[in-house]
Copies of this chain bind each other. A is one copy, B any other.
Amino acid sequence: MGEFDLIARYFKRPAKRSPLGVGDDCALLAPAAGMQLAVSSDMLVEGRHFLSTVEPARLGHKALAVNLSDLAACGAKPLAFTLALALPGVDEPWLEGFSRGLLALADAHGCELVGGDTTRGPLNICITVFGEVPAGAALLRSGARAGDDIWVSGTPGEARLALEVFRGTIALPADAFDTARRRMEQPTPRVALGQALRGIATSAVDVSDGLIGDLGHILASSGVGATLDVDAATALISVDTGNLGEELRRTCALSGGDDYELVFTAPASARNAVGQAGMDSSTRVTRIGRIEADAGLRIVDAAGAPVSQRFGSFDHFV
């Protein structure tokens, strides 16, 4: 199968909303008047962002989900995406599964595949996603203010549990592993929540490298510090972790990435509005800390006592 047949069979579909889709030198997008275009690009490499054992359909889902998660963190509505794909060869069952998972999530969010590139090479998936947001309404990392609450969506830390099982460092009951594995391999981008938080949240980021590391981006961009309640975050892990110790559960909750939950801040006066945004988007939201003027991140337990355990963050080069 040649390059153009491959594109036609697995990735070419008629563009419905975009003026021009797959098959010309460029795709054309027409943002509505008064809208800004939010753009994000993520590259997934085997062995770093996914294991070779992952089902192709789940991988297709995840490749788009991590990009939609960036739109969610900006409060943007998905519009379209491009897919650049390096493949070691033409593996039709893989392409069938990958494109099925990818396009199912795209359809669920009304996000059109409008173009891209295919080439031979070590497996590499690069998606660039486009969303729209009213001018001036995007959620940024830089808007957190002292006194704001810190919130997190969903159940961060479960993807990391699955990774630790794959690494062989822990064991989980079968049901718990299945749930955690799905969280790692097929994360749910919080697209509806992100849009519901426009005008309410003062800052937001999606958790890809770990809750602490990504919250750190908000603190640095906003020039503030924070106190975080490790027990409130750890309690969100809802899968049965059997006899695993609390230290490991805390590590998963605070350092685990790959859940693609949103961490965001909002004034204490907006607690009801945040709760409503969570309900409107069918997404659990939980307060886990508070922004403070003093720089640095202070981690405390439910009783307010400092926690001495150290938590890391993921970095591709250290």
Contacts and interface: CB of A to CB of B under 8 A. Distances in A.
A298 B27 CA distance: 30
A82 interface: yes
Interface residues of A, number: 72
Contacts of A20: 138, 140
A268 interface: no
A167 interface: no
The copy count of this chain in the complex is 2
Nearest to A205: B25
A85 B41 CA distance: 10
29 contacts: A3-B315, A3-B317, A19-B135, A20-B138, A20-B140, A23-B141, A25-B71, A27-B39, A28-B133, A30-B135, A31-B37, A37-B37, A39-B128, A41-B83, A41-B117, A42-B117, A43-B85, A43-B117, A46-B121, A47-B121, A82-B128, A84-B126, A84-B128, A86-B124, A119-B316, A121-B124, A122-B124, A126-B126, A128-B128
Interface of A: 1-4, 6, 19-20, 23-31, 33, 36-43, 45-49, 70-71, 73-74, 76, 80, 82-87, 89-90, 114-122, 124, 126, 128, 130-131, 133, 135, 138, 140-142, 204-206, 221, 315-318
